[in-house]
Structure formats: structure tokens, C-alpha cells
């Protein structure tokens, strides 16, 4: 006998992966360049050349530095110092190396945090739209209850009325993701302040910590010079789950961190629980080579101007074609309304033009579709007339 739940998860691919595989199959028939695959959030911009040079430097110096050896479970000391300095210099925080636990990307960071805090009967609140794996991790990694807060679709800030109604004595944490996958919205300072006030009041009412898990893989990918509020400055019981997958275009290298601020209640014990969770989940010692590489490049990003160019082109093109869409302020995703109520039917129709879009229901927000525009600008230029044709079918 094996776990039926795990077998079920293994047999059923995520919708996004399903569409991605469909695209690969279509590419064999019509040619790769004729498939407009907007399904996957795989950065198309290369990692910065400085990063490549650092990587080569580490490889050349291998013998001197036990490059491929185990590191300490929490991560290399100077790398964690670099993580602290990078945030302190940009956000005016006062972190030290002891606040950081290096991990295999945001996925590992979130699973570790959930495992570190979850107790039987706990509920985890997730404002929509949200990254679909949250539900999978909450339900399967810690047997928790995932409570979805419906989206505020006019601007994709938080629907606070529904949010407040979703908090109760069993609430252990809230997971937020800003800049947001799938809609590209960035929570304003006003939103973060209001969220913090509600959580502070709820902690007082229920007499226990309610954690904020801030999932931030897109933190640096913001447009129009926008400054994002750094969440630990507003709410003490905040975990930051970070990843270099998107900011440095390193998704396959699996590198990121969990940040446990000193301001968190019983922070030393919580940090110990994070270490325990890393151990139990088998995530000790994040990839050694890429710990070093991000340690040297922690304030760099890939060339995000490409995403800004793509955003403008795609957004203007979709609006001209008759779509309605909240303009993304960051990430490389756009989340327009579907042109028919059933967005699955809409995505099927889009496939006629080899436009591969992801239905919003998976993100907790039916009636919308996600377009991942981390593709060549030329791909968007060639796709726009097809979006236009698709829209004309509904006129
Ligand atoms: N959280 C969000 C919102 C994401 O979009 C992703 C990946 O696309 C992840 C977490 C997982 O990131 P990682 O590849 O660093 O594990």
C-alpha cells in the first residue's frame, strides 16, 4: 500500500504543466515559432553576465574552497551575511546572518515555514488570486485547511471584508504574494498597513501569533520605478520566503531563503523550528555552488527592462483588441478577463490560434486567464494579431 494522495498528485500534472506539454506536442506539428506558449513562468532573460563570471571564478578556484561539499545546514555564513546586507542597504532593515536560512527556492521556503508552524487543526488564509501550489503544500505538507479569500478584481488589492471574515481562532498564518503571480499587482503600502492592523487585532482577540508568510520571488520585478513596502517593517510576525528564480533568472538552480526577523515573537525558537522543518523535509544545505553565486550577486537582477517592454506591448495590444485587464505593476504575468464566462472554453478557443493561456480558476479567480509574457518581444508582436482575431470572434 502506498499513499493514494501522493499517487494522485503524481499522476495528475498541474494545469500549467499540462498546457506546456500540449505546446511541446504542437511545436512538433506546426513548428516551435508558431506556438505562442504563454503558459510557464520561466524567465527568458539570461542571468546577468557578472553572475556567469562569478560562477566561472568559483569553478576555477574549486580545489581551494571545497566547492561541492556540504555546507552548514542553514547555509554558508558569508552568504547569509550577504543576504542581510543586501536587504539592509535597500530597505533600511537591520537583519544579520542569523535571520536567514538558505533553501532550494521559494517552494522549499514555503514548505519549511508551513512545517515549522503548523499544528493539527490549523487554517491558512490565502487571498486570491494565488499561486496554485499553495493549496497543494498546505493540504499535503502539513494537513492544514486552505481558506481562500475571493479576489477584489477591480484592482487585485485585498478584499478586506472577505479577508476579515476568513480569520478565526484556528488561523495560523496568511500567505501573501506581492508582486503577484498571476495578476502582476503590487500591494500598496495602504494595503499592507490595513492587513497588519487586522492581523494585530486578531492576534489580540485570539491570544496567539498569526503569521504572515510573504512569498516574494518577484520582489525586484516592478515597473515605473515603483517602491514596494518591505513587509517585516509593518508586521513583526512575518516570514519572508524568497527565491532567486525570477530576479536572477535561476529557476533551475533552486536557491532562495527563509527570513525570520528578530522582531518575530519567540524568534529564536521559531528559527529553530525552521531548522527542524528543513531537516524533516530533507532540505538541509541548499545547493552549495549557487549559495556562493547568489552570495556574490544578491543586489543584482537580470535585465528586467525586457519585461517592462513586453508589458507595454501586450497590455496596449490587448486593450486595443477589446480585452479588459488590470495593468500589472510587476512580475511578468498579465491576467485579463476572459471574453466568455467560462474561461476554460475561452482557452480552448485560443488554442485554435496556438495561443496557450492558463485558466484563472486554478489561481482562485475564475473568468480570467493568465498570460506569462516572459517570452521574446517578437513573440508578443507576432501574437497580437492573433489575440485580435480571437477577440473579433466575440464581437
Ligand atoms: N511562489 C510563486 C508566487 C511563484 O510564482 C513560484 C514559481 O513560479 C514559486 C513560489 C516557486 O518558486 P521557486 O522556483 O523558487 O521554488
- DSSP letter string, 278-304: HHHTT--S--HHHHHHHHHSTT----T
Determine if the peptide bond prior to 30 is cis (ω within 30°).
no
Ligand 1 within 6 A of 106 CB?
yes
Ligand 1 within 6 A of 216 CB?
no
Please tell me the distance from the alpha carbon of residue 232 to that of residue 113, in angstroms, as a whole number. Answer: 15
Give the pLDDT confidence score for residue 15 in this predicted structure.
86
Taking the centre of ligand 1 as the mean of its atom positions, its distance from the CA of residue 112, in whole angstroms, is 14
Taking the centre of ligand 1 as the mean of its atom positions, its distance from the CA of residue 217, in whole angstroms, is 6
Give the pLDDT confidence score for residue 65 in this predicted structure.
67
Give the pLDDT confidence score for residue 166 in this predicted structure.
98
Give the pLDDT confidence score for residue 215 in this predicted structure.
98
Residue 359: which of 4, 15, 71 has the closest Cα?
15
CA 388 to chain centre: 30
Per-residue pLDDT of the chain (395 residues; tens, 9 = 90+): 999 999 999 998 788 888 989 999 999 999 999 999 999 999 999 999 999 999 999 998 876 668 899 999 999 999 999 999 999 999 999 999 999 999 999 999 999 999 999 999 999 999 999 999 999 999 999 999 999 999 999 999 999 999 999 999 999 999 999 999 999 999 999 999 999 999 999 999 999 999 999 999 999 999 999 999 999 999 999 999 999 999 999 999 999 999 999 999 999 999 999 999 999 999 999 999 999 999 999 999 999 999 999 999 999 999 999 999 999 999 999 999 999 999 999 999 999 999 999 999 999 999 999 999 999 999 999 999 999 999 999 98
| Cell numbers placing 17 | 504543466
Taking the centre of ligand 1 as the mean of its atom positions, its distance from the CA of residue 264, in whole angstroms, is 24
Residue 21: phi and psi, rounded to 5, are -65, -40
How many residues can be counted in the chain? Answer: 395
SS3 344: helix
Taking the centre of ligand 1 as the mean of its atom positions, its distance from the CA of residue 380, in whole angstroms, is 23
Pairing of strands 123-127, 145-149: parallel
Is residue 390 within 8 Å of 371, Cβ to Cβ? no
Residue 182: phi and psi, rounded to 5, are -105, 0
Burial 373-395 (b: 16+ CB within 10 A, else e): bbbebebbeebbebbbebeeeee
Taking the centre of ligand 1 as the mean of its atom positions, its distance from the CA of residue 134, in whole angstroms, is 10
Question: Is the full-model pTM beyond 0.85?
Answer: yes
Ligand 1 within 6 A of 181 CB?
yes
Please tell me the distance from the alpha carbon of residue 158 to that of residue 142, in angstroms, as a whole number. Answer: 25
Ligand 1 within 6 A of 138 CB?
no
Q: Whose CA is nearest to atom 8 of ligand 1?
A: 41
Ligand 1 atom having least distance to the Cα of 245: 15
Is residue 156 within 8 Å of 185, Cβ to Cβ? yes
Amino acid at each position: 500500500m502506498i499513499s493514494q494522495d501522493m499517487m494522485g498528485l503524481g499522476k495528475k500534472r498541474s494545469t500549467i504543466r499540462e498546457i506546456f506539454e500540449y505546446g511541446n506536442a504542437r511545436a512538433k506539428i506546426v513548428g516551435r515559432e508558431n506556438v505562442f506558449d504563454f503558459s510557464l513562468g520561466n524567465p527568458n532573460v539570461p542571468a546577468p553576465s557578472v553572475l556567469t563570471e562569478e560562477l566561472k571564478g568559483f569553478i576555477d578556484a574549486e580545489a581551494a574552497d571545497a566547492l561541492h561539499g556540504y555546507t552548514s545546514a542553514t547555509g554558508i555564513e558569508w552568504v547569509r551575511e550577504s543576504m542581510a546586507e543586501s536587504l539592509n542597504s535597500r530597505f533600511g532593515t537591520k537583519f544579520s546572518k542569523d535571520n536567514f536560512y538558505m533553501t532550494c527556492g521559494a517552494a522549499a521556503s514555503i514548505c519549511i515555514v508551513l512545517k515549522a508552524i503548523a499544528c493539527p487543526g490549523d487554517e491558512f488564509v490565502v487571498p486570491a488570486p494565488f499561486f496554485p501550489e499553495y493549496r497543494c503544500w498546505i493540504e499535503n505538507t502539513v494537513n492544514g485547511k486552505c481558506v481562500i479569500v475571493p479576489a477584489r478584481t477591480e484592482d487585485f488589492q485585498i478584499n478586506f471584508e472577505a479577508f476579515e471574515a476568513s480569520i478565526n481562532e484556528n488561523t495560523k498564518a496568511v500567505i501573501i504574494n506581492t508582486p503577484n503571480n498571476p495578476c502582476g499587482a503590487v500591494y500598496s503600502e495602504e494595503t499592507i498597513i490595513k492587513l497588519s492592523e487586522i492581523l494585530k487585532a486578531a492576534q489580540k482577540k485570539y491570544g496567539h501569533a498569526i503569521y504572515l508568510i510573504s512569498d516574494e520571488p518577484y520582489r525586484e520585478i516592478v515597473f515605473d520605478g515603483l517602491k514596494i513596502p518591505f513587509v517585516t517593517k509593518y508586521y513583526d510576525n512575518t516570514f519572508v520566503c524568497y527565491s532567486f528564480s525570477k530576479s536572477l533568472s535561476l529557476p533551475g538552480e533552486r536557491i532562495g531563503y527563509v527570513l525570520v526577523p528578530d522582531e518575530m515573537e519567540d524568534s529564536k525558537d521559531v528559527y529553530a523550528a525552521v531548522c527542524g522543518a528543513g531537516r524533516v523535509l530533507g532540505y538541509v544545505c541548499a545547493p552549495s555552488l549557487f549559495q556562493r553565486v547568489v552570495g556574490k550577486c544578491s543586489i543584482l537582477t537580470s535585465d528586467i527592462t525586457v519585461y517592462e517592454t513586453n508589458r507595454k506591448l501586450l497590455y496596449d495590444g490587448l486593450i486595443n483588441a477589446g480585452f479588459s485587464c488590470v495593468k500589472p505593476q510587476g512580475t511578468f504575468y498579465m491576467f485579463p478577463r476572459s471574453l466568455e464566462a467560462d474561461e476554460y472554453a475561452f482557452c480552448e478557443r485560443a488554442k485554435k490560434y496556438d495561443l496557450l493561456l492558463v485558466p484563472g480558476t486554478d489561481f482562485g479567480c475564475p473568468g480570467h486567464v493568465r498570460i506569462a509574457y516572459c517570452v521574446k518581444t517578437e513573440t508578443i508582436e507576432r501574437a497580437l494579431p492573433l489575440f485580435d482575431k480571437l477577440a473579433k470572434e466575440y464581437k
